[in-house]
Amino acid sequence: MTTIIIRPKSKEEKNLITKLLRKMNIETSIVEDALPNYETQKAINDVERKKGKPANNADHLFEQLGI
């Protein structure tokens, strides 16, 4: 399973990203907690330790996913 962490800058951006991912049949779950849950913290740590694949923007992300 691949985990994608996105920190939208606004509610509109969050809604757009969620709709796009759902249209591509990518399961989404929004974390609203002030502190990230265990899976989110693990994914953030993996990216920081260069175990994950950081993406600069949506185009870069979609290219990495082959979409």
Q: What pLDDT is stored for residue 52 in this prediction?
A: 66
Q: What pLDDT is stored for residue 41 in this prediction?
A: 80
Let me know if residue 6 belongs to a domain.
no
Let me know if residue 4 belongs to a domain.
no
Let me know if residue 47 belongs to a domain.
yes
- Whether the CB-CB separation of 37 and 31 falls below 8 Å is answered with yes
What's this model's pTM, rounded to 2 decimal places?
A: 0.42
- Whether the CB-CB separation of 27 and 16 falls below 8 Å is answered with no
* pLDDT, tens only, 12-53: 988 888 888 888 888 777 766 667 778 778 877 887 787 766
Let me know if residue 30 belongs to a domain.
yes
First to last CA, the chain: 16
Number of structural domains in the chain: 1
Name the CA dihedral angle for 34, 38, 59, 28, rounded to a multiple of 10 degrees: -80
In the chain, the amino acid numbered 60 is: H
pLDDT band at 11 (very low <50, low <70, confident <90, very high): confident
**Residue 41 is part of which domain span?**
11-65
Does the structure show a pLDDT above 80 at 2? no
Q: What pLDDT is stored for residue 51 in this prediction?
A: 73
Let me know if residue 20 belongs to a domain.
yes
